[in-house]
Amino acid sequence: MRDSARAFLWEMLEMTSGPIVWFGHLVLVYGATSLGCSRQGEATLIGSEVVTGVTVVSTLLALGGSAWLIAHHARDLAEQGDSEARSFVDRVTIALGAFAVIGIVWTALPALIGPACPT
């Protein structure tokens, strides 16, 4: 059982990595939109087609990362059963990863089903 300070901090980071991935994805697609879609007729810094590209690629990466996280901890959970605290952390990691998947899909939908920069 890893219970040292550094290992614990790392474990907490891993436990919350699903929502961290979701947040990173949100910031990325929001940033791309800010740079690519004009505000009140101003010139844009990147083309609007880049917005769609960034959204698609980052969504696939974020979903892939979350899926890997869930699978990795599901395997951990199946392999060890000696510590309730440890399996608790694994279960929370998996559930937060699943929540992140919902959040990522939800966030990406507006960009994927509509025009890149609607007016």
Partner 1 sequence: MTLPALHEVPRPETEHDKLREIWRPPSGLRFITAVNNTYIGIFYVGAALLFFLLAGLLALGMRTQLLFAENEFLSQEAYNQFFTMHGTIMMFLFAVPAVEAMGVFLLPPMLAARDLPFPRLSAYAFWAYFVGGLIFFGSLFFGLAPRGGWFMYPPLTSTQYSPGISADFWLLGIGFIEISAIAGAVEILVGVLRTRAPGMSLDKLPIYAWAMLVFATLIVLAFPAIILGTALLELERAFGWPFFDAARGGDPLLWQHLFWFFGHPEVYIIFLPAAGFVSMILPTMAGVPLAGYRLVVIALLATGFTAMGVWVHHMFATGIPSLSVSFFSAASMAVAVPSGIQVFAWIATLASGRLRFHTPALFLLGFLFIFTLGGLTGVMVGLVPFDWQVHDTYFIVAHFHYVLIGGMVFPLFAAFYYWAPIASIRPLSERLGRWVFGLLFVGFNVAFFPMHITGLLGMPRRVWTYPADVGWEGLNQLSTAGAYLIAAAVLLFLIDVLRNFRLTTDKGGAGNVWNAGTLEWIENSTYGVRSIPPVDAREPLWAHRDLRELTEAGAYFLPGSVTGGRETLVTSPLEGRPQFVLQLPGPGWSPLLAAVATALGFFMLTLKLVVPALVLAGVTVAFLCIWLWGSDPGPAGPPADVGGGHVVPTSASGPLSHSWWGTVVLIVVLAMLFGALVFSYLYLWTVSRQVWPASTGQPLPAPFWPLAAAAAFAASSLAMAWANRALGRSRPDRRASERVGLGLALGLLVAAFLLELVGQRASGLSPTTSSYGALVYVGIALEGALVLALVVMGLYTLARSLTGRLGPERRATFDNTRLLWHYGVAQGLALLVLLHLAPLVLG
Smallest Cα–Cα separation from 51: which of 38, 39, 33, 34?
33
The minimum distance between CB 6 and partner 1, in angstroms, equals: 6
Could you list the beta-strand ranges (E) of 2-96.
none
Interface stretch with partner 1, choices 57-65, 73-81, 92-100 (CB under 8 A) = 92-100
Q: Which is nearer to partner 1, 1 or 79 (CB)?
A: 1
Residue 62 class from Cβ within 10 Å (0-12 exposed, 13-18 middle, 19+ buried)? buried
Q: Is 118 a residue that touches partner 1 (CB under 8 A)?
A: yes
Q: Is 56 a residue that touches partner 1 (CB under 8 A)?
A: no
How far is residue 12 from each of residues 7, 28, 82, measured CA to CA in Å?
9, 23, 20
78: left (phi over 0), alpha (psi -120 to 50) or beta: alpha
Question: Which residue's entry shows tokens 């949100």?
Answer: 26
Interface stretch with partner 1, choices 14-22, 58-66, 69-77 (CB under 8 A) = 14-22
Question: Which residue's entry shows tokens 């990147």?
Answer: 46
Q: Is 3 a residue that touches partner 1 (CB under 8 A)?
A: yes
Q: What is the binding site for partner 1 (CB under 8 A)?
A: 1-6, 8-9, 11, 16, 19-20, 22-23, 26-27, 29-30, 33-35, 37-40, 45, 51, 83-86, 88-89, 91-92, 95-96, 99, 102-103, 106-107, 109-111, 114, 116-119
